[in-house]
Amino acid sequence: MAHEHEHEYEEEMMAEEHVHIERPTIIAPSILSADFANLGADVRRVEEAGAEYIHIDVMDGSFVPNITVGPCVVESLRKMSKAVFDVHLMVEHPETHIEPFAKAGADIITFHVEATRHAHRVIQQIKAAGCKAGIALNPGTSIYTLEELIDDVDMVLLMTVNPGFGGQKFIENTLGKIHALYHTVMDNELNVDIEVDGGINAETAESVRSAGANVLVAGSYIYGAKDIAAAVAALRG
């Protein structure tokens, strides 16, 4: 009988360890899918539809093939939006871009762990510039690269497609990575958001939320919707 009680206790403990703690879901529309001829209006539309963040993809044509926007675009948008500006640096040498984007109005600056040899220094630079610091991982990069960094960041961005192009299909095996990162955050009582970017729609949003993500980047699903407010609500679940 004693052994039976011990077994029941172990099962209860295991169940408790796997309880999923709900966090409010934040929606971050990516301007990569907006109409660049009417960018200010498109930013206002998603903000009015309930999106809390504006996700700004910065590409240099080197780390990823495309080239997108610079600090002057962020500065112009800042004048017409009160949303959190979530700047995602998909660039080589991210340390050279931090101060210009911080001055332009970024609230969060995220860089890729694959793009620098001195990640701690970049995190320190971002915080010294008055912004929250995020670190991004490509689909093929292990979360174990975060082991010495996660205590120092405010957000981890897990790419669920390979970066550089919009409209790609969600990579299903990234769900395990999201789940593992979620338990690292919860087990260590860290105040770290988990952001996902790539192939996010109503269906994949449910999957990534269940795995533990609480900041969802979506581009074509939001900007291509007839009813943007309904699309934002569907992502939030």
Contact yes or no for 88/197 (Cβ under 8 A): yes
How confident is the prediction for the chain on average, in pLDDT? 90
DSSP string, 113-173: GGG-S-HHHHHHHHHHTT-EEEEEE-TTS-GGGGTTTGGG-SEEEEESS-TT-SSPPP-TT
Mean pLDDT of 25-32: 96
For residue 5, pLDDT over 60 is answered with no
Q: Note the pLDDT of residue 163.
A: 81
Mean pLDDT of 60-88: 92
Q: Note the pLDDT of residue 13.
A: 34
Which segments within the chain are labelled E, that is strand? 26-29, 53-59, 84-90, 108-112, 132-137, 155-159, 193-197, 215-218
Q: Note the pLDDT of residue 133.
A: 98
Separation of alpha carbons 62 and 232, rounded Å? 32
Contact yes or no for 66/166 (Cβ under 8 A): no
Residue 177: CB atoms within 10 Å? 20
- Confidence category of residue 165, pLDDT binned at 50, 70, 90: low
Joined together, the tokens standing for residue 92 give 């080589």
User: Looking at the domain assignment, is residue 155 inside a domain?
Assistant: yes
Q: State which amino acid sits at residue 136.
A: A
Alpha-carbon separation of residue 221 from 66, 97, 145, 229 (angstroms): 21, 29, 31, 11
Q: Note the pLDDT of residue 79.
A: 95
User: Looking at the domain assignment, is residue 3 inside a domain?
Assistant: no
The catalytic residues are: 57, 197
Contact yes or no for 130/140 (Cβ under 8 A): no
User: Looking at the domain assignment, is residue 198 inside a domain?
Assistant: yes
Q: Note the pLDDT of residue 102.
A: 98
Instruction: Give the model confidence (pLDDT) of 188-236 as tens digits.
Output: 999 999 999 999 999 999 999 999 999 999 999 999 999 999 999 999 9
User: Looking at the domain assignment, is residue 9 inside a domain?
Assistant: no
CATH number at residue 213: 3.20.20.70
What is the total count of domains within the chain? 1
Q: Note the pLDDT of residue 64.
A: 85
pTM of the full predicted structure? 0.89
User: Looking at the domain assignment, is residue 218 inside a domain?
Assistant: yes
User: Looking at the domain assignment, is residue 4 inside a domain?
Assistant: no
If one compares 140 and 16, the residue with the highest pLDDT of the two is: 140
Mean pLDDT of 87-110: 97
Q: Note the pLDDT of residue 216.
A: 98
pLDDT > 70: what percent of the chain?
89
Q: Note the pLDDT of residue 17.
A: 45
Sign of CA dihedral 165, 166, 169, 171: positive
Q: Note the pLDDT of residue 12.
A: 38
> What are the phi and psi torsion angles at 83 (to 5°)?
-65, 160
For residue 20, pLDDT over 90 is answered with no
DSSP 52: -
For residue 3, pLDDT over 60 is answered with no
Which residue in 165, 230, 237 sits closest to 208, CA to CA? 237
Q: Note the pLDDT of residue 6.
A: 39
Supply the range of the domain harboring residue 146: 23-236
User: Looking at the domain assignment, is residue 125 inside a domain?
Assistant: yes
Q: Which residues make beta-bridge pairs with 108?
A: 86, 132
Joined together, the tokens standing for residue 153 give 């960041």
